[in-house]
Amino acid sequence: MGDNLKITILVDNQAGEGLIAEHGLSLWIETQDKRILFDTGQGTALPDNARKLAIGLDNADILVLSHGHYDHTGGVFHVLKHAGGIELYCHPAVVQPRYSIRNGIAKPIHMPRDSMAAIDKLSAHKLHWVSRAALLRQGVGLTGPIPRDTSYEDTGGPFYLDPEGRRADPIDDDLALWVNTPEGLIVCVGCCHAGMVNILNQVRRLSGVSRIRAVIGGFHLLHASDQRLERTVAALRSYSPDIVAPCHCTGGRAVQALMDALGERVSPGCSGLTYKF
Ligand SMILES: [Fe+2]
Ligand SMILES: [Fe+2]
């Protein structure tokens, strides 16, 4: 697809002036003919920030969920209630119960129940389960599940499907959205549970385009080992993107490492920021 792509950060851990900060992510993507909401944050910041940024969520055509965690799906209830014509794209695992367990204490981190109930009420033709790669239109795609190929991206974590911690959660629902432009791929990521380099490699394979122009979203490098961080930054630098916008769960140390390696091409995200392509 041609240019005229606009991406606005609606919800992020960092907030622009007058906007609400929240541990979560939501991106508003305007292509030539579609308005796509990518994730919804926890649900508190989204309606307020959208109103202040004059973004009409009720005009959204498509809602994409990167994965089922509460900090990406808490606003689903609100969005489905107000955007009458919207169609939802997500992996079926987004609705399963899941927990993070730290120091023996299980914390539920699944989609809130009102959001699950709203999905349940969607008519069948508006709900698209993404169990494999899909195209939303020519040049705009979803990865579907992402192979975990790199040796250095530890895609585990304290994530389980039961509060006792018997079954590890592989977060198979993790997916990314890509847009092909004349100057390369724009890739939107939620939390990068599949690993950022795995995601970028999968997008390159699926699209048949090797040039990465921009990456926007949460890179999940807060607890990354030095080795993982070093190799991730090196891989990203080898792709030579024009814009890297670390948001949400990237972590300050990783943002600094990215800035050291890529200089001004790194633009740390915060709600209210808009990127035009
Ligand atoms: Fe997240
Ligand atoms: Fe997550």
Give the tens place of pLDDT for each residue, 10-60. Answer: 999 999 999 999 999 999 999 989 999 999 999 999 999 999 999 999 999
- Centre of ligand 1 from the C-alpha of residue 26, in Å: 10
CA distance 55 to 70: 22
Q: Is residue 234 part of a domain?
A: yes
pLDDT of 178? 98
CA distance 276 to 128: 28
Return the H-helix or E-strand segment holding 29.
Answer: strand 26-30
Q: Is residue 275 part of a domain?
A: no
- Centre of ligand 1 from the C-alpha of residue 68, in Å: 9
Instruction: Write out pLDDT tens, residues 183-219.
Output: 999 999 999 999 999 999 999 999 999 999 999 999 9
pLDDT for 3 beyond 70: no
CA distance 105 to 22: 23
pLDDT for 259 beyond 60: yes
- Centre of ligand 1 from the C-alpha of residue 48, in Å: 20
Number of Cβ atoms within 10 Å of the Cβ of 62: 23
Q: Is residue 1 part of a domain?
A: no
pLDDT of 150? 97
- Centre of ligand 2 from the C-alpha of residue 248, in Å: 10
Q: How would you classify the pairing of strands 127-129 and 87-90? A: parallel
Nearest CA-CA partner of 22 in 197, 271, 259: 271
Nearest CA-CA partner of 20 in 83, 95, 75, 60: 75
Residue 4 banded pLDDT, cuts 50, 70, 90: confident
Instruction: Write out pLDDT tens, residues 115-151.
Output: 999 999 999 999 999 999 999 999 999 999 999 999 9
Number of Cβ atoms within 10 Å of the Cβ of 3: 11
For residue 165, what is the domain's CATH number?
3.60.15.10
Q: Is residue 224 part of a domain?
A: yes
Closest ligand relative to 158 C-alpha: 2
Closest ligand relative to 22 C-alpha: 1
Instruction: Write out pLDDT tens, residues 214-226.
Output: 999 999 999 999 9
Q: Is residue 261 part of a domain?
A: yes
pTM confidence score:
0.98
Q: Which amino acid is at 196?
A: M
Closest ligand relative to 174 C-alpha: 2
pLDDT of 231? 98
Beta carbons within 8 Å of 96's beta carbon, 6+ residues apart: 68, 110, 161
Residue 257 token pair: 């490492």
Residue 119 token pair: 């999905």
Q: Per the structure, how many domains does the chain have? A: 1
Three-state secondary structure readout of 141-199: EECCCCCCCCCCCCCCCCEECCCCCCCECCCCCCCCEEEEECCEEEEEECCCCCCHHHH
Instruction: Write out pLDDT tens, residues 144-187.
Output: 999 999 999 998 899 999 999 999 999 999 999 999 999 999 99
- Centre of ligand 1 from the C-alpha of residue 116, in Å: 18
Q: Is residue 266 part of a domain?
A: yes
Q: Is residue 277 part of a domain?
A: no
- Centre of ligand 2 from the C-alpha of residue 157, in Å: 10
Which residues have their alpha-adjacent CB atom under 5 A from ion ligand 2?
69, 191
CA distance 111 to 100: 13
The residue-averaged pLDDT of 93-97 equals: 97
CA distance 160 to 111: 14
- Centre of ligand 2 from the C-alpha of residue 163, in Å: 17
Question: Structural domain of residue 137, as residue ranges?
Answer: 6-270
CA distance 236 to 87: 32
pLDDT of 1? 52
What are the distances in angstroms from CA 162 to CA 69, 94, 110, 250?
14, 15, 11, 26
CA distance 254 to 84: 39
Q: Is residue 276 part of a domain?
A: no
What DSSP character marks residue 124?
G
- Centre of ligand 2 from the C-alpha of residue 83, in Å: 24
Number of Cβ atoms within 10 Å of the Cβ of 24: 31
